[in-house]
Structure 1
Protein backbone atom coordinates (compact mmCIF):
# COMPACT_ATOMS: atom_id res chain seq x y z
CA UNK A 1 0.00 0.00 0.00
CA UNK A 2 1.36 3.41 -1.04
CA UNK A 3 0.25 6.43 1.00
CA UNK A 4 -0.05 9.61 -1.07
CA UNK A 5 -0.57 13.11 0.29
CA UNK A 6 -2.19 15.56 -2.18
CA UNK A 7 -1.59 19.22 -1.29
CA UNK A 8 -3.74 21.52 -3.43
CA UNK A 9 -6.03 24.49 -2.73
CA UNK A 10 -8.61 22.71 -4.90
CA UNK A 11 -10.12 20.09 -2.58
CA UNK A 12 -11.37 17.99 -5.51
CA UNK A 13 -7.85 17.26 -6.78
CA UNK A 14 -7.32 14.41 -4.32
CA UNK A 15 -10.55 12.79 -5.52
CA UNK A 16 -9.44 13.06 -9.15
CA UNK A 17 -6.06 11.50 -8.32
CA UNK A 18 -7.76 8.64 -6.50
CA UNK A 19 -10.03 7.92 -9.47
CA UNK A 20 -7.10 8.21 -11.88
CA UNK A 21 -5.05 5.59 -10.02
CA UNK A 22 -7.79 3.03 -9.47
CA UNK A 23 -7.48 0.07 -8.91
CA UNK A 24 -3.97 0.58 -7.47
CA UNK A 25 -3.41 -0.25 -3.80
CA UNK A 26 -3.09 3.33 -2.61
CA UNK A 27 -4.39 5.52 0.19
CA UNK A 28 -4.99 9.20 -0.60
CA UNK A 29 -4.73 11.92 2.05
CA UNK A 30 -5.45 15.57 1.28
CA UNK A 31 -4.45 19.03 2.50
CA UNK A 32 -5.30 22.48 1.19
CA UNK A 33 -2.99 24.62 3.34
CA UNK A 34 0.60 24.75 4.59
CA UNK A 35 -0.32 23.72 8.14
CA UNK A 36 -2.64 20.93 7.02
CA UNK A 37 0.18 19.50 4.90
CA UNK A 38 2.58 19.53 7.87
CA UNK A 39 -0.02 17.90 10.11
CA UNK A 40 -0.70 15.12 7.62
CA UNK A 41 2.98 14.37 7.06
CA UNK A 42 3.81 14.30 10.77
CA UNK A 43 0.84 12.09 11.66
CA UNK A 44 2.44 8.69 12.46
CA UNK A 45 -0.69 6.78 11.46
CA UNK A 46 -0.39 7.92 7.82
CA UNK A 47 3.23 6.99 6.94
CA UNK A 48 3.21 9.16 3.81
CA UNK A 49 5.33 7.76 0.93
CA UNK A 50 4.71 10.38 -1.76
CA UNK A 51 3.49 13.99 -1.87
CA UNK A 52 1.75 15.54 -4.89
CA UNK A 53 1.78 19.29 -4.47
CA UNK A 54 0.67 22.36 -6.36
CA UNK A 55 3.16 25.03 -5.33
CA UNK A 56 0.50 27.71 -5.99
CA UNK A 57 -1.02 27.63 -2.50
CA UNK A 58 -2.56 31.09 -2.52
CA UNK A 59 -0.66 33.35 -0.09
CA UNK A 60 1.48 30.42 1.10
CA UNK A 61 4.71 29.31 -0.54
CA UNK A 62 4.56 25.76 -1.83
CA UNK A 63 8.34 25.58 -2.31
CA UNK A 64 8.85 26.40 1.37
CA UNK A 65 6.41 23.61 2.22
CA UNK A 66 8.38 21.11 0.11
CA UNK A 67 11.56 22.12 1.90
CA UNK A 68 9.80 21.62 5.24
CA UNK A 69 8.54 18.20 4.10
CA UNK A 70 12.10 17.17 3.23
CA UNK A 71 13.32 18.34 6.64
CA UNK A 72 10.66 16.23 8.35
CA UNK A 73 11.23 13.15 6.18
CA UNK A 74 14.10 13.19 3.69
CA UNK A 75 12.87 9.93 2.17
CA UNK A 76 9.45 11.21 1.13
CA UNK A 77 9.06 11.45 -2.65
CA UNK A 78 7.73 14.83 -3.81
CA UNK A 79 6.05 15.43 -7.19
CA UNK A 80 5.03 18.96 -8.21
CA UNK A 81 1.80 19.18 -10.24
CA UNK A 82 1.16 22.86 -11.04
CA UNK A 83 0.27 25.43 -13.69
CA UNK A 84 3.31 27.52 -12.71
CA UNK A 85 5.31 27.25 -15.92
CA UNK A 86 8.59 29.14 -15.61
CA UNK A 87 12.20 28.02 -15.75
CA UNK A 88 12.81 29.65 -12.37
CA UNK A 89 10.02 27.68 -10.69
CA UNK A 90 11.19 24.42 -12.28
CA UNK A 91 14.76 24.95 -11.04
CA UNK A 92 13.49 25.94 -7.61
CA UNK A 93 11.42 22.75 -7.44
CA UNK A 94 14.44 20.60 -8.18
CA UNK A 95 16.53 22.50 -5.64
CA UNK A 96 14.07 21.87 -2.81
CA UNK A 97 13.99 18.14 -3.57
CA UNK A 98 11.10 17.41 -5.96
CA UNK A 99 11.69 14.39 -8.19
CA UNK A 100 9.20 15.40 -10.89
CA UNK A 101 7.54 18.57 -12.24
CA UNK A 102 4.25 18.06 -14.12
CA UNK A 103 2.33 20.96 -15.66
CA UNK A 104 -1.39 21.63 -15.43
CA UNK A 105 -3.55 21.15 -17.35
CA UNK A 106 -2.14 17.65 -17.68
CA UNK A 107 -2.99 14.76 -19.93
CA UNK A 108 -4.47 12.14 -17.60
CA UNK A 109 -2.74 9.22 -19.32
CA UNK A 110 0.61 11.00 -18.99
CA UNK A 111 0.08 11.85 -15.33
CA UNK A 112 -1.05 8.31 -14.57
CA UNK A 113 2.03 6.86 -16.28
CA UNK A 114 4.36 9.12 -14.30
CA UNK A 115 2.68 8.40 -10.97
CA UNK A 116 2.60 4.65 -11.55
CA UNK A 117 6.34 4.76 -12.19
CA UNK A 118 6.92 6.50 -8.87
CA UNK A 119 4.57 4.11 -7.05
CA UNK A 120 6.47 1.16 -8.53
CA UNK A 121 9.74 2.61 -7.20
CA UNK A 122 8.20 3.08 -3.76
CA UNK A 123 6.89 -0.49 -3.60
CA UNK A 124 10.23 -1.90 -4.74
CA UNK A 125 11.99 0.02 -2.00
CA UNK A 126 9.59 -1.39 0.59
CA UNK A 127 10.38 -4.95 -0.51
CA UNK A 128 14.10 -4.63 0.18
CA UNK A 129 15.19 -7.35 2.60
CA UNK A 130 16.06 -6.07 6.07
CA UNK A 131 19.60 -7.25 6.79
CA UNK A 132 21.32 -5.98 9.90
CA UNK A 133 25.12 -5.40 9.97
CA UNK A 134 25.34 -8.14 12.59
CA UNK A 135 23.61 -10.64 10.29
CA UNK A 136 25.91 -9.67 7.40
CA UNK A 137 28.99 -10.28 9.55
CA UNK A 138 27.55 -13.55 10.78
CA UNK A 139 26.79 -14.88 7.29
CA UNK A 140 30.21 -13.87 5.95
CA UNK A 141 31.86 -15.50 8.96
CA UNK A 142 29.82 -18.70 8.43
CA UNK A 143 30.78 -18.82 4.73
CA UNK A 144 34.47 -18.35 5.54
CA UNK A 145 34.39 -20.92 8.34
CA UNK A 146 32.80 -23.49 6.03
CA UNK A 147 35.38 -22.78 3.32
CA UNK A 148 38.21 -23.34 5.81
CA UNK A 149 36.62 -26.52 7.16
CA UNK A 150 36.04 -28.00 3.70
CA UNK A 151 39.31 -26.61 2.30
CA UNK A 152 38.09 -24.57 -0.63
CA UNK A 153 38.51 -20.96 -1.71
CA UNK A 154 35.77 -18.32 -1.67
CA UNK A 155 35.26 -15.00 -3.46
CA UNK A 156 33.52 -12.15 -1.69
CA UNK A 157 32.35 -9.17 -3.74
CA UNK A 158 31.00 -5.75 -2.83
CA UNK A 159 29.06 -3.44 -5.17
CA UNK A 160 28.41 0.16 -4.12
CA UNK A 161 25.88 2.36 -5.95
CA UNK A 162 26.78 6.05 -5.91
CA UNK A 163 25.96 9.26 -7.75
CA UNK A 164 28.54 11.11 -9.78
CA UNK A 165 27.50 14.48 -8.34
CA UNK A 166 28.02 15.09 -4.64
CA UNK A 167 24.50 16.45 -4.22
CA UNK A 168 23.07 13.16 -5.42
CA UNK A 169 24.78 11.31 -2.58
CA UNK A 170 23.20 13.39 0.20
CA UNK A 171 20.85 11.26 2.24
CA UNK A 172 18.99 8.13 1.18
CA UNK A 173 15.80 8.33 -0.79
CA UNK A 174 13.20 5.99 -2.18
CA UNK A 175 14.63 6.10 -5.69
CA UNK A 176 18.08 4.99 -4.48
CA UNK A 177 16.51 2.05 -2.68
CA UNK A 178 14.50 1.16 -5.77
CA UNK A 179 17.70 1.16 -7.85
CA UNK A 180 19.28 -1.19 -5.31
CA UNK A 181 16.27 -3.51 -5.35
CA UNK A 182 16.21 -3.67 -9.15
CA UNK A 183 19.96 -4.32 -9.36
CA UNK A 184 19.61 -7.02 -6.71
CA UNK A 185 17.07 -8.80 -8.92
CA UNK A 186 19.53 -8.64 -11.85
CA UNK A 187 22.35 -10.06 -9.75
CA UNK A 188 20.11 -12.86 -8.43
CA UNK A 189 19.85 -14.25 -11.96
CA UNK A 190 23.64 -14.63 -12.12
CA UNK A 191 24.27 -16.58 -8.92
CA UNK A 192 24.05 -20.27 -8.13
CA UNK A 193 22.21 -22.10 -5.39
CA UNK A 194 25.27 -22.16 -3.11
CA UNK A 195 25.98 -18.45 -3.54
CA UNK A 196 24.79 -15.81 -1.06
CA UNK A 197 23.44 -12.31 -1.75
CA UNK A 198 23.10 -9.67 0.96
CA UNK A 199 22.26 -5.98 0.93
CA UNK A 200 24.38 -3.47 2.81
CA UNK A 201 22.49 -0.34 3.74
CA UNK A 202 20.54 1.31 0.92
CA UNK A 203 23.30 1.27 -1.69
CA UNK A 204 25.39 -1.89 -1.33
CA UNK A 205 25.23 -5.52 -2.45
CA UNK A 206 27.48 -8.27 -1.07
CA UNK A 207 28.10 -11.40 -3.13
CA UNK A 208 29.59 -14.54 -1.54
CA UNK A 209 30.76 -17.11 -4.11
CA UNK A 210 32.02 -20.38 -2.60
CA UNK A 211 34.43 -22.66 -4.51
CA UNK A 212 35.71 -19.85 -6.73
CA UNK A 213 39.50 -19.76 -6.81
CA UNK A 214 41.83 -16.83 -7.33
CA UNK A 215 42.28 -17.61 -11.04
CA UNK A 216 38.56 -16.99 -11.60
CA UNK A 217 38.54 -13.63 -9.87
CA UNK A 218 39.32 -11.47 -12.90
CA UNK A 219 36.74 -13.10 -15.18
CA UNK A 220 34.07 -12.93 -12.47
CA UNK A 221 34.90 -9.27 -11.75
CA UNK A 222 34.66 -8.47 -15.47
CA UNK A 223 31.33 -10.25 -15.71
CA UNK A 224 29.81 -8.22 -12.87
CA UNK A 225 31.26 -4.95 -14.15
CA UNK A 226 29.55 -5.57 -17.48
CA UNK A 227 26.32 -6.55 -15.72
CA UNK A 228 26.38 -3.27 -13.78
CA UNK A 229 27.27 -1.18 -16.84
CA UNK A 230 24.45 -2.77 -18.86
CA UNK A 231 22.05 -2.24 -15.95
CA UNK A 232 22.82 1.49 -15.78
CA UNK A 233 22.76 1.93 -19.56
CA UNK A 234 19.44 0.12 -20.07
CA UNK A 235 17.78 2.34 -17.47
CA UNK A 236 19.45 5.56 -18.62
CA UNK A 237 20.98 6.16 -15.17
CA UNK A 238 23.70 8.41 -16.53
CA UNK A 239 24.30 10.23 -13.23
CA UNK A 240 24.64 6.98 -11.28
CA UNK A 241 27.59 4.61 -11.18
CA UNK A 242 28.55 1.36 -9.46
CA UNK A 243 31.95 0.64 -7.94
CA UNK A 244 32.81 -2.98 -7.22
CA UNK A 245 35.63 -5.25 -6.21
CA UNK A 246 36.16 -8.90 -5.27
CA UNK A 247 38.51 -10.49 -2.79
CA UNK A 248 39.71 -14.08 -2.54
CA UNK A 249 40.06 -15.98 0.71
CA UNK A 250 42.48 -17.25 1.85
CA UNK A 251 44.92 -16.02 -0.85
CA UNK A 252 44.38 -12.24 -0.68
CA UNK A 253 43.38 -11.76 2.92
CA UNK A 254 43.75 -13.76 6.09
CA UNK A 255 40.42 -15.38 7.05
CA UNK A 256 40.71 -13.84 10.51
CA UNK A 257 40.51 -10.34 8.99
CA UNK A 258 37.23 -8.60 8.21
CA UNK A 259 36.99 -9.20 4.46
CA UNK A 260 34.13 -6.72 4.06
CA UNK A 261 36.16 -3.92 5.66
CA UNK A 262 39.08 -4.68 3.35
CA UNK A 263 36.75 -4.51 0.34
CA UNK A 264 35.16 -1.28 1.55
CA UNK A 265 38.61 0.34 1.85
CA UNK A 266 39.53 -0.83 -1.66
CA UNK A 267 36.34 0.63 -3.12
CA UNK A 268 36.87 3.86 -1.19
CA UNK A 269 40.20 4.23 -3.01
CA UNK A 270 38.44 3.59 -6.33
CA UNK A 271 35.97 6.38 -5.59
CA UNK A 272 38.75 8.77 -4.62
Structure 2
Protein backbone atom coordinates (compact mmCIF):
# COMPACT_ATOMS: atom_id res chain seq x y z
CA UNK A 1 0.00 0.00 0.00
CA UNK A 2 1.37 3.42 -0.99
CA UNK A 3 0.32 6.33 1.22
CA UNK A 4 -0.20 9.62 -0.61
CA UNK A 5 -1.13 13.12 0.47
CA UNK A 6 -2.45 15.69 -2.04
CA UNK A 7 -1.91 19.33 -1.05
CA UNK A 8 -4.00 21.65 -3.19
CA UNK A 9 -6.46 24.46 -2.57
CA UNK A 10 -8.56 23.06 -5.40
CA UNK A 11 -10.60 20.03 -4.25
CA UNK A 12 -11.02 18.95 -7.90
CA UNK A 13 -7.35 17.92 -8.04
CA UNK A 14 -7.81 15.47 -5.18
CA UNK A 15 -10.90 14.01 -6.81
CA UNK A 16 -9.13 13.57 -10.17
CA UNK A 17 -6.12 11.87 -8.64
CA UNK A 18 -8.36 9.48 -6.72
CA UNK A 19 -10.14 8.61 -9.98
CA UNK A 20 -6.84 8.24 -11.84
CA UNK A 21 -5.52 5.78 -9.25
CA UNK A 22 -8.76 3.86 -8.86
CA UNK A 23 -8.02 0.13 -8.53
CA UNK A 24 -4.40 0.74 -7.51
CA UNK A 25 -3.54 -0.07 -3.86
CA UNK A 26 -3.05 3.47 -2.51
CA UNK A 27 -4.42 5.42 0.42
CA UNK A 28 -4.98 9.12 -0.32
CA UNK A 29 -5.47 11.95 2.16
CA UNK A 30 -5.68 15.65 1.37
CA UNK A 31 -4.80 19.07 2.75
CA UNK A 32 -5.58 22.59 1.54
CA UNK A 33 -3.36 24.72 3.81
CA UNK A 34 0.21 24.69 5.09
CA UNK A 35 -0.95 24.13 8.67
CA UNK A 36 -3.17 21.21 7.71
CA UNK A 37 -0.41 19.58 5.61
CA UNK A 38 2.22 19.90 8.36
CA UNK A 39 -0.21 18.50 10.91
CA UNK A 40 -1.08 15.51 8.69
CA UNK A 41 2.55 14.71 7.87
CA UNK A 42 3.40 14.91 11.56
CA UNK A 43 0.70 12.37 12.33
CA UNK A 44 1.45 10.09 9.37
CA UNK A 45 5.21 10.48 9.03
CA UNK A 46 5.92 6.82 9.73
CA UNK A 47 3.77 5.67 6.81
CA UNK A 48 3.46 8.59 4.37
CA UNK A 49 5.32 7.88 1.11
CA UNK A 50 4.41 10.54 -1.44
CA UNK A 51 3.14 14.11 -1.56
CA UNK A 52 1.53 15.65 -4.64
CA UNK A 53 1.50 19.41 -4.14
CA UNK A 54 0.50 22.54 -5.98
CA UNK A 55 3.03 25.12 -4.76
CA UNK A 56 0.57 27.85 -5.70
CA UNK A 57 -1.26 27.84 -2.35
CA UNK A 58 -2.63 31.37 -2.48
CA UNK A 59 -0.97 33.51 0.20
CA UNK A 60 1.13 30.57 1.45
CA UNK A 61 4.49 29.49 -0.03
CA UNK A 62 4.30 25.89 -1.28
CA UNK A 63 8.07 25.64 -1.62
CA UNK A 64 8.53 26.62 2.00
CA UNK A 65 5.97 23.97 2.88
CA UNK A 66 7.96 21.28 1.02
CA UNK A 67 11.07 22.23 3.01
CA UNK A 68 9.16 21.96 6.29
CA UNK A 69 7.60 18.61 5.31
CA UNK A 70 11.01 17.16 4.39
CA UNK A 71 12.33 18.26 7.78
CA UNK A 72 9.59 16.16 9.36
CA UNK A 73 10.07 13.21 7.01
CA UNK A 74 13.18 13.36 4.74
CA UNK A 75 12.12 10.15 2.97
CA UNK A 76 9.07 11.75 1.35
CA UNK A 77 8.85 11.66 -2.41
CA UNK A 78 7.52 15.00 -3.69
CA UNK A 79 5.68 15.64 -6.95
CA UNK A 80 4.82 19.23 -7.80
CA UNK A 81 1.69 19.60 -9.94
CA UNK A 82 1.10 23.28 -10.71
CA UNK A 83 0.28 25.81 -13.41
CA UNK A 84 3.45 27.80 -12.58
CA UNK A 85 5.51 27.47 -15.75
CA UNK A 86 8.58 29.61 -15.14
CA UNK A 87 12.30 28.93 -14.91
CA UNK A 88 12.29 30.33 -11.36
CA UNK A 89 9.66 27.84 -10.23
CA UNK A 90 11.58 24.92 -11.80
CA UNK A 91 14.81 25.99 -10.09
CA UNK A 92 13.07 26.32 -6.72
CA UNK A 93 11.59 22.85 -7.20
CA UNK A 94 15.06 21.39 -7.68
CA UNK A 95 16.41 23.24 -4.64
CA UNK A 96 13.73 21.90 -2.30
CA UNK A 97 14.26 18.33 -3.55
CA UNK A 98 11.15 17.74 -5.66
CA UNK A 99 11.24 14.44 -7.56
CA UNK A 100 8.98 15.52 -10.42
CA UNK A 101 7.34 18.65 -11.85
CA UNK A 102 4.06 18.28 -13.73
CA UNK A 103 2.28 21.22 -15.33
CA UNK A 104 -1.44 21.86 -14.98
CA UNK A 105 -3.75 21.32 -16.65
CA UNK A 106 -2.49 17.75 -16.88
CA UNK A 107 -3.76 14.91 -19.01
CA UNK A 108 -5.20 12.10 -16.87
CA UNK A 109 -3.43 9.32 -18.77
CA UNK A 110 -0.11 11.17 -18.56
CA UNK A 111 -0.54 11.77 -14.83
CA UNK A 112 -1.50 8.15 -14.25
CA UNK A 113 1.62 6.96 -16.07
CA UNK A 114 3.79 9.30 -13.99
CA UNK A 115 2.21 8.31 -10.68
CA UNK A 116 2.40 4.58 -11.38
CA UNK A 117 6.10 4.96 -12.18
CA UNK A 118 6.75 6.72 -8.87
CA UNK A 119 4.61 4.23 -6.94
CA UNK A 120 6.71 1.39 -8.39
CA UNK A 121 9.84 3.10 -7.06
CA UNK A 122 8.23 3.40 -3.63
CA UNK A 123 7.16 -0.26 -3.60
CA UNK A 124 10.61 -1.32 -4.76
CA UNK A 125 12.31 0.63 -1.98
CA UNK A 126 10.01 -0.99 0.57
CA UNK A 127 10.53 -4.55 -0.62
CA UNK A 128 14.24 -4.62 -1.45
CA UNK A 129 16.25 -6.72 0.98
CA UNK A 130 18.11 -4.99 3.80
CA UNK A 131 20.86 -6.42 5.94
CA UNK A 132 21.99 -5.40 9.39
CA UNK A 133 25.64 -4.71 10.14
CA UNK A 134 25.64 -7.65 12.53
CA UNK A 135 24.44 -10.02 9.78
CA UNK A 136 27.18 -8.81 7.44
CA UNK A 137 29.90 -9.12 10.09
CA UNK A 138 28.70 -12.62 11.02
CA UNK A 139 28.65 -13.79 7.39
CA UNK A 140 32.13 -12.43 6.69
CA UNK A 141 33.46 -14.01 9.88
CA UNK A 142 31.96 -17.40 8.97
CA UNK A 143 33.28 -17.14 5.40
CA UNK A 144 36.80 -16.40 6.63
CA UNK A 145 36.67 -19.27 9.12
CA UNK A 146 35.60 -21.63 6.35
CA UNK A 147 38.37 -20.40 4.04
CA UNK A 148 41.01 -20.89 6.72
CA UNK A 149 39.65 -24.32 7.65
CA UNK A 150 39.47 -25.50 4.03
CA UNK A 151 42.66 -23.70 3.01
CA UNK A 152 41.29 -21.66 0.10
CA UNK A 153 41.25 -17.98 -0.83
CA UNK A 154 38.28 -15.64 -1.06
CA UNK A 155 37.52 -12.13 -2.28
CA UNK A 156 35.52 -9.66 -0.25
CA UNK A 157 34.25 -6.56 -2.04
CA UNK A 158 32.59 -3.28 -1.17
CA UNK A 159 30.65 -1.11 -3.63
CA UNK A 160 29.57 2.36 -2.51
CA UNK A 161 27.23 4.45 -4.65
CA UNK A 162 27.13 8.20 -4.09
CA UNK A 163 25.60 11.40 -5.40
CA UNK A 164 28.16 13.33 -7.45
CA UNK A 165 26.99 16.69 -6.08
CA UNK A 166 27.15 15.62 -2.45
CA UNK A 167 29.18 12.43 -1.94
CA UNK A 168 28.90 12.65 1.86
CA UNK A 169 25.10 12.57 1.74
CA UNK A 170 23.72 9.00 1.76
CA UNK A 171 20.59 8.18 -0.20
CA UNK A 172 17.68 9.33 1.92
CA UNK A 173 14.68 9.54 -0.36
CA UNK A 174 12.59 6.83 -1.90
CA UNK A 175 13.70 7.42 -5.47
CA UNK A 176 17.42 7.30 -4.65
CA UNK A 177 17.12 4.29 -2.37
CA UNK A 178 15.13 2.37 -4.97
CA UNK A 179 17.54 3.24 -7.78
CA UNK A 180 20.67 2.41 -5.82
CA UNK A 181 19.35 -0.76 -4.24
CA UNK A 182 17.95 -1.84 -7.58
CA UNK A 183 21.57 -2.76 -8.33
CA UNK A 184 21.14 -5.59 -5.84
CA UNK A 185 19.32 -7.77 -8.35
CA UNK A 186 21.89 -7.21 -11.10
CA UNK A 187 24.72 -8.02 -8.70
CA UNK A 188 22.89 -11.04 -7.33
CA UNK A 189 22.44 -12.39 -10.86
CA UNK A 190 26.20 -12.28 -11.39
CA UNK A 191 27.00 -14.56 -8.45
CA UNK A 192 27.74 -18.22 -8.29
CA UNK A 193 25.51 -20.31 -6.05
CA UNK A 194 27.88 -20.26 -3.09
CA UNK A 195 28.66 -16.51 -3.28
CA UNK A 196 26.79 -13.81 -1.35
CA UNK A 197 25.77 -10.15 -1.61
CA UNK A 198 24.42 -7.96 1.17
CA UNK A 199 22.91 -4.47 1.23
CA UNK A 200 25.25 -2.11 3.07
CA UNK A 201 23.51 0.89 4.63
CA UNK A 202 21.42 2.79 2.04
CA UNK A 203 24.14 3.19 -0.52
CA UNK A 204 26.27 0.13 -0.88
CA UNK A 205 26.83 -3.60 -1.18
CA UNK A 206 29.16 -6.12 0.39
CA UNK A 207 30.10 -9.04 -1.87
CA UNK A 208 31.64 -12.28 -0.61
CA UNK A 209 33.15 -14.46 -3.33
CA UNK A 210 34.27 -17.86 -2.10
CA UNK A 211 37.23 -19.75 -3.56
CA UNK A 212 38.45 -16.77 -5.60
CA UNK A 213 42.21 -16.36 -5.88
CA UNK A 214 44.12 -13.09 -5.89
CA UNK A 215 44.76 -13.61 -9.60
CA UNK A 216 41.02 -13.12 -10.20
CA UNK A 217 40.85 -9.79 -8.38
CA UNK A 218 41.43 -7.45 -11.36
CA UNK A 219 38.93 -9.25 -13.57
CA UNK A 220 36.39 -9.27 -10.72
CA UNK A 221 36.69 -5.51 -10.21
CA UNK A 222 36.22 -4.94 -13.95
CA UNK A 223 33.14 -7.18 -13.95
CA UNK A 224 31.40 -5.19 -11.22
CA UNK A 225 32.42 -1.88 -12.77
CA UNK A 226 30.71 -3.02 -15.95
CA UNK A 227 27.59 -4.12 -14.04
CA UNK A 228 27.30 -0.73 -12.29
CA UNK A 229 28.01 1.30 -15.43
CA UNK A 230 25.48 -0.69 -17.47
CA UNK A 231 22.84 -0.32 -14.76
CA UNK A 232 23.23 3.46 -14.55
CA UNK A 233 23.32 3.78 -18.35
CA UNK A 234 20.19 1.67 -18.87
CA UNK A 235 18.34 3.62 -16.15
CA UNK A 236 19.56 6.94 -17.60
CA UNK A 237 21.07 7.92 -14.26
CA UNK A 238 23.79 10.56 -14.46
CA UNK A 239 23.76 12.06 -10.97
CA UNK A 240 25.35 9.04 -9.25
CA UNK A 241 28.77 7.46 -9.38
CA UNK A 242 30.40 4.55 -7.53
CA UNK A 243 33.61 3.22 -6.02
CA UNK A 244 34.61 -0.44 -5.91
CA UNK A 245 37.27 -2.18 -3.86
CA UNK A 246 38.01 -5.88 -3.41
CA UNK A 247 40.43 -7.52 -1.03
CA UNK A 248 41.86 -11.03 -1.09
CA UNK A 249 42.25 -13.18 1.99
CA UNK A 250 44.72 -14.37 3.11
CA UNK A 251 47.18 -12.83 0.62
CA UNK A 252 46.46 -9.11 1.18
CA UNK A 253 45.47 -8.95 4.84
CA UNK A 254 45.58 -11.14 7.90
CA UNK A 255 42.24 -12.99 8.24
CA UNK A 256 41.98 -11.65 11.77
CA UNK A 257 41.76 -8.07 10.49
CA UNK A 258 38.42 -6.41 9.74
CA UNK A 259 38.21 -6.65 5.96
CA UNK A 260 35.15 -4.42 5.69
CA UNK A 261 36.78 -1.58 7.64
CA UNK A 262 39.87 -1.79 5.45
CA UNK A 263 37.73 -1.71 2.28
CA UNK A 264 35.74 1.28 3.56
CA UNK A 265 38.96 3.11 4.39
CA UNK A 266 40.37 2.50 0.92
CA UNK A 267 37.19 3.77 -0.74
CA UNK A 268 37.14 6.85 1.49
CA UNK A 269 40.73 7.53 0.46
CA UNK A 270 39.85 7.10 -3.24
CA UNK A 271 36.97 9.57 -2.92
CA UNK A 272 39.19 11.81 -0.92
| TM-score, scaled to structure 1 | 0.96
Residue by residue, what CA displacement relative to the aligned partner does 1:81-116 show, whole Å, maximum 9, x if unpaired? Answer: 001111111111111111111100012222112111
1:129 equivalent in structure 2: 129
Cα separation, 2, equivalents of 1:108 and 1:195: 46
Cα separation, 2, equivalents of 1:155 and 1:263: 11
Which secondary structure state, in structure 2, belongs to the residue aligned with residue 113 of structure 1?
A: helix
| 2:90 maps to 1:95 | no
Across the aligned residues of Structure 1 and Structure 2, the Cα RMSD in angstroms comes to 1.5
1:165 equivalent in structure 2: 165
Give the total of aligned pairs.
272
Structure 1 runs (4+) deviating above 4 angstroms are none
1:112 equivalent in structure 2: 112
| 2:193 maps to 1:193 | yes
How do 1:60-71 residues align onto structure 2 when only pairs under 5 Å count?
60-71=60-71
Gaps of 5+ in 1: none
Cα separation, 2, equivalents of 1:99 and 1:252: 43
Cα separation, 2, equivalents of 1:159 and 1:167: 14
1:52 equivalent in structure 2: 52
**Conserved 8 A contact 1:74-1:171:** no
Q: CA deviation at 1:45?
A: 7.7
Q: CA deviation at 1:180?
A: 2.5
**Conserved 8 A contact 1:41-1:47:** no
Q: 152-161 or 43-52: which moved more? A: 43-52
Q: CA deviation at 1:245?
A: 1.1
Cα separation, 1, equivalents of 2:52 and 2:184: 29
Q: 1:174 to 1:262 in 2, by over 3 A?
A: same
1:27 equivalent in structure 2: 27
**Conserved 8 A contact 2:2-2:26:** yes
Q: 1:200 to 1:45 in 2, by over 3 A?
A: closer
Q: CA deviation at 1:169?
A: 3.1
Cα separation, 2, equivalents of 1:86 and 1:27: 32
1:236 equivalent in structure 2: 236
Cα separation, 2, equivalents of 1:167 and 1:180: 14
Q: CA deviation at 1:215?
A: 0.7
Cα separation, 1, equivalents of 2:96 and 2:263: 35
Q: 1:246 to 1:21 in 2, by over 3 A?
A: same
| TM-score, scaled to structure 2 | 0.96
**Conserved 8 A contact 1:245-1:263:** yes
1:42 equivalent in structure 2: 42
Q: 1:116 to 1:134 in 2, by over 3 A?
A: same
**Conserved 8 A contact 2:181-2:199:** no
